[in-house]
Amino acid sequence: MELLTMTSPDIGMPYEWSVGIYGSKFFEEIKRNQRFVGIRCPQCGKVRVPPRRVCGACFCEMDELVYLPSTGTITAFSIVNYPFIDPATGIERPVPYTYGYIQLDGADNIFSHIINETDESKIKVGMRVRAVFKATNEMEGNIQDIRYFEIE
Amino acid sequence: MEKIAIVGTAQTKYERRKKDQTYYDMVYEVTTAALNDAGLTLADIDNVITVSNDFFDGRTISSMAVGEAAGAHDKNISTVEGDGTFGAFYGAMRVWGGYRSTLVVAHSKGSEGNPKFISNAMFDPIYHRPLGLDAISSAALQANAYMTRYGITEEQCALVSVKNHGNAKKNPFAQLSLDLTVDDVMRSPKIADPLKRLDCSPVSDGAAAIIIGNEEIVRKAKSKPVWIKGVAHCAEEYFLGDRDLANPKALRDAAKRAYQMAGIVNPREEIDVAEIYDAFSYMEPLWLEGLGMCEAGAGGVLTESGVTKMDGALPVNPSGGVLSAHAVLAAGLARLIESSLQVRGEAGSRQIDGVKTALAHGINGACGQSHCVWILGAE
Amino acid sequence: MARRGAIIGTGQTHHRSHRLDVNGREMIHEAVTRALADCELTMRDIDAIVIGNMDHFEAINAVDTWSVEGSGGVMKPIMKVTTGGTTGTSVAIAAYYHVASGMFDKVLAIGWEKNSESDTTGAIVTCSDPIWDRYSYSGAIPSLATEASAYMEKFGATQRDAARVALRERTHAQNNPYAHMHGRPLTLDEILGSPMLTYPIKLGDICPRTDGAAAVVFAAEGVAEKLAPRPAWVKANAVRHTNTWFGDVDQRTGLESLERASREAYAAAGIKNPAEDFDVAELYLPYSYAGLKWIEALGFCPPGGGPQFIWDGHTDMGGKIPVNPSGGVMSTNCIGATALLRVAEAAIQVMGKGGARQVPEVKTALATGFGGCWWSDVFILGKEKP
């Protein structure tokens, strides 16, 4: 007897998530001024990017926006080799690509994005990187308005 | 088991779409509001239970979005993915089990996904999903089974819609407060026979939070405690065809155990007000039967009699119920909150006089596969 | 007053990559039947059930309602607790509170995963914030790899050090007939020579994808003693699901959630020197480098001391603090069950039911869970009633 399986149809579950006030401000700054904006906690003084409403550790609301340069330092990275279907696009994500954790100058937390270097011998923790943006008229108000970070 | 109580409550206004708010925003709002309501600070909260659903949020580990917003950065935390009444039950068990207090917070945004796909995904992928079953069509099956068995009429169910949407006028949190007649309901567009649009709850965005505390926390809080006298839940079979949809046996079982725990012998007499999960108009009489408020099959007549109206002997859903606001998962917690407000005497213009004992109820799964029943008291 | 609670029985499936012969419900049923048999109970004796899994992994919404025929939840109270990778320990903790609260005497905890039925990576990618993290996030493995890259940079740890952890896990699995990798040991060279998936994680450094289920029976004091000759008493539990965004976790520091959760649990259980006070540890280590770094967070050795501690053999069978006699996550990974398996295996050690993988004379055992946004759960079991 044959053991059956059943595949799901490719209906794609559509979602439309709210970005919120703080997030929307972040993307607006990217579009208008190609710069990052973070937020400072009045209690612990930490600056975090992207900006968010609450400092989790202090559990207090924040409103002091801090403008940051688009440069930073690599704190961790990984070069992804295995292919997989990107649920955001439905097609296989081209590999290799480098997933990086960048500490933007002036921020206390880490910003995650793509780094455009996939040669293991040419990338190291501690290197300086700079954000590269899309052309302003192509920006859509999402994280891909930052194309990637490149090593300086 | 020690005495524990609900000491803080908060809800957002329920709306069709809260475009400018993220889940994080809504959860933070109700968390801080519940703390203020209780007169407590985050340091008084020993642990947090969040309630969310991955399909609604479009996110595996949906709890990840809100832990921090619920104050759980350096606290013990867990997550129940099911109706808020079940999350609250786990929160209560954690207080009985040693914590001084638990914050329970639920959120959902019906506006951000496709509710039909999302509820369709609840059905078995091999046998039921391809048939296109979803929350509404399955409810229509149950309504049909119930009404056929006992001769409940569409007009009797329409009365529930009229009552609850009317009650919502006195609830500042409700989404749909409407002045309706039975005729309005009967002439509203037919969605899935016998359900018409005004028989169905809306799609809503919203969040709700409660704080449960032991006696030490009750003394510290500034609010009037709402004591948890009894609570129980129970689940039936999964496949609709394995169940008798006109006989909510899991509800009967849960209600029996909750009443036993609370020492209630005659619920119809001893319960002063009830907030139950009327996702569809037929559910109110059906659940009232399961709760033992009337004989099986007498739910329609009970509704017609006026007993369940604001000025009746057993007001049901003075808040407007789920028919007036349905942020999935949060809606069960909202029933707990509304009954707590009734017990405290803080329900504003929707307050029922002299409430000493209230009943709150939530459901989980298609057609009320699982039910959670709560009995709350002023003493 | 809270009641004390203990584990009196466990059950699990023989974990495999593809169980075509069962659907999810049936697979759950296997684990449940074995757990009940382990403590000589029937489903009638169970008062409540807690079950956990990630809905997107099998693409079934409200998976607790769907599973009732397999889990035994028909006409019983059943609830679903789910927190990503930490689900199994969250489920165990929930079952413990069901019992400790005084509401239920005998509670069944279930974790399961039918990895073969889904696109796990695709589902895991959706755990990231859709607006900020999802574009660059590519699942658990690259995320873990970033931690490894920072740890290597800071302390000079090598791929070989990590491979020694993987060697231990795969060797231990040969004593565990349930493990996915039972019958499939690896040598150090094979691990080092395996394909590089995402630098520095190679195929031999990472956990497999497994179909499997686990079930654990908890009982209250007064009941546990009558049902099991050596119940495994719950001494402490602590959880820190600290962060919301991946960027809020600094990979240059230790695993903060595990440091905090273990500190709290150790204080409650009277643990002062973990490497000495515990007789065995079942740790949720999804990849080899975690076996170097996270034992530092647990206080087994100081920061940077992980590699030496491993090479000295302290975590092997016969060592000071055997880690993962079951073979661990790297030998079996049915995600919804994985953290529960850590609790089950720790209980098996305390109850003396470990067979070929039994560590002699276990009095106190440590189990941990990991997942989500670098979250940690800690669960401590002991032979003596607390």
Q: Average the pLDDT over B6-31 and give the result.
A: 96
Statement to judge: residues C143 and C219 lie in one domain: no
For B269-325, how does the pLDDT look when each residue is reduced to its tens digit (9 = 90+)? 999 999 999 999 999 999 999 999 999 999 999 999 999 999 999 999 999 999 999
DSSP element (H, E) containing B304 = helix B299-305
- Choose among B72, B96, B237: nearest Cβ to C2: B96
Strand residues in chain A grouped as ranges (E): 36-40, 47-48, 54-55, 60-61, 64-68, 71-80, 97-104, 111-115, 128-133, 146-151
Which among B63, B77, B84, B81 is positioned nearest to B9, based on CA atoms?
Answer: B84
- CA-nearest residue of chain C to A145? C135
**Does C232 reside within a domain?**
no
pLDDT of residue B217: 98
Number of domains in chain C: 2
Radius of gyration from C-alpha coordinates of chain C = 19
Please tell me chain B's helix, strand, coil percentages from 3-state DSSP, rounded to the nearest 5. 40, 20, 40
Looking at CA atoms only, how far is residue A63 from chain B in angstroms?
14
Residue C243 pLDDT greater than 90, yes or no: no
Q: Which regions of B172-245 does DSSP assign to beta strands (E)?
A: 190-192, 195-196, 205-213, 226-235
- Among C143, C197, C244, select the one facing A56 at the smallest CB separation: C244
Give the DSSP letter string of A54-88: EETTTTEE--EEEEE-SEEEEEEEEEE-S--B-TT
Tokens encoding C169: 């896990």
pLDDT at residue B333 in the model = 97
Alpha-carbon distance A22 to nearest alpha carbon in chain B (angstroms): 10
Element (H, E) at B298: none
Q: Once rounded to an integer, what is the mean pLDDT over residues A22-26?
A: 87
CB contact under 8 A, C130 and B59: yes
Q: Which of A8, A93, A113 has its CB closest to that of C138?
A: A93
Per-residue pLDDT at A87: 63
DSSP string over C138-192: --HHHHHHHHHHHHHHHH---HHHHHHHHHHHHHHGGG-TTSTTTT----HHHHH
- Please check whether residues C158 and C186 belong to one and the same domain: yes
**pLDDT digit string (tens) for C18-76?**
888 888 888 999 999 999 999 999 999 999 999 998 877 777 788 888 888 888 888 99
B34-52: average pLDDT: 97
| Same-domain status, C145 and C262 | yes
A85 and C137: CB-CB below 8 Å? no
Mean pLDDT in residue range C219-224:
97
Q: Which residues contact C267 (CB under 8 A, 6 or more apart)?
A: none
Give pLDDT, residue B357.
Answer: 98
Domain that holds residue C360: 131-208+237-382
Nearest-CB residue to B21 (from A20, A52, A54): A20
Token representation of residue B180? 């309706």
Residue B268, helix vs strand vs coil: helix
Asked if residue A117 has pLDDT above 70, the reply is yes
Specify the pLDDT at position A100.
Answer: 87
Q: Which amino acid is at B267?
A: P
Residues C33 and C162 in one domain: no
- Asked if C111 and C185 sit in the same domain, the reply is no
Backbone φ and ψ for C204, nearest 5 degrees, come out as -75, -10
Angle at CA of residue A121, ends A118 and A126, nearest 5°: 85
The pLDDT score that the predictor gives to residue B131 is: 81
pLDDT value, residue A10: 62
3-state secondary structure of C350: helix
Rg (CA), chain B: 19
Which tokens hold the place of C66?
A: 């769907």
Query: Using CA atoms, how far apart are residues C229 and A21, in angstroms rounded to an integer?
Result: 59
Residue C161 and residue C63 share a domain: no
Shared-domain flag, residues C221 and C283: no
Q: Using a CB-CB distance cutoff of 8 angstroms, which residues of chain C are in contact with residue A111?
A: 247
Asked if C352 and C247 sit in the same domain, the reply is: yes
CA separation for the pair C309, C296 (Å, rounded): 10
Closest by Cα among B267, B231, B237, B266 to B249: B237
Alpha carbon distances (Å) from C378 to B363, C9, C332, C351: 32, 20, 19, 19
pLDDT for B113 equals 86
Q: What pLDDT is recorded for position B80?
A: 96
The answer to whether residue C126 is domain-embedded is no
User: Which of B166, B359, B171 has its CA nearest to residue B251?
Assistant: B359
Contact A50 C132 (CB under 8 A): yes
pLDDT of residue C67: 86
Query: Of A1, A74, A65, A76, which is closest to residue A36 (Cα–Cα)?
Result: A65
Mean pLDDT, residues C132-160 taken together:
87
- In sequence order, what are the residues at sequence separation of 6 or more whose Cβ sits closer than 8 angstroms to the Cβ of residue B266? none
Q: pLDDT exceeding 70 applies to what percent of chain B?
A: 100
More confident residue, B128 or C100: C100
- Calpha distance B232→B264 (Å, rounded): 13
Which stretch of B72-76, B126-130, B208-212 has the lowest confidence by average pLDDT? B126-130
**CA A103 → CA A127, A129, A132, C37, C134, distances in Å?**
11, 9, 15, 54, 18
**Rounded CA gap, C104 and C308, in Å?**
46
Interface test with C, best of A82, A116, A140 (most C CBs within 10 A): A82
Same domain, C253 and C306: yes
Which residues make Cβ contacts (< 8 Å) with residue A29, sequence separation at least 6? A35, A36, A37, A67
CB contact under 8 A, A11 and B18: no
Do C75 and C151 have their domain in common?
no
Domain boundary among C159, C194, C227: C227
Beta-bridge mates of residue B77: B48
Distance CA C291, CA C284 (A): 9
Q: Summarize the confidence of residues C87-92 as an average pLDDT.
A: 96
C140 lies in the same domain as C253:
yes
| pLDDT, tens only, C326-370 | 999 999 999 999 999 999 999 999 999 999 999 999 999 999 999
Model confidence at C242, in pLDDT bands (50, 70, 90)? confident
Mean pLDDT (chain B) is 95
Band (pLDDT 50/70/90 cuts) for residue C136 is confident
Q: B121-135, B325-339, C140-154: which range is least confident on average?
A: B121-135
Selected for mutation to probe chain B from A5, A17, A18 (highest B CB count within 10 Å) is A18
In chain B, the domains with their CATH numbers are 5-113+203-220 (3.40.47.10)
Q: For residue A9, is pLDDT > 80? A: no
Would you tell me how many other CB atoms lie within 10 Å of the CB of residue A91? 8
Q: Name which residue leads in pLDDT, B84 or C138.
A: B84
CB contact under 8 A, A126 and C59: no
pLDDT at A8 > cutoff 70:
no
Q: A110 and C251: CB-CB below 8 Å?
A: yes
- Helix axis angle for B84-96 and B330-344, nearest 10°, is 60
Q: How far apart are CA C90 and CA C106, in angstroms?
A: 17
Indicate the range of A39-43, A49-53, C256-260 predicted with least confidence.
A49-53
pLDDT at C247: 82
Domains of chain A, by residue range, sit at: 20-151
Domain contains C166? yes
Q: Residue C268: inside a domain, yes or no?
A: yes
- Judged by CB atoms closer than 8 Å, whether chains meet at A53 and B28 is answered as yes
> Any idea which residue has 């796909």 for tokens?
B117
Nearest CA in chain A to C132: A143
Whether residue C197 is found in the same domain as residue C219: no
Q: Do A80 and C59 touch (CB under 8 A)?
A: no
Average pLDDT, chain C: 93
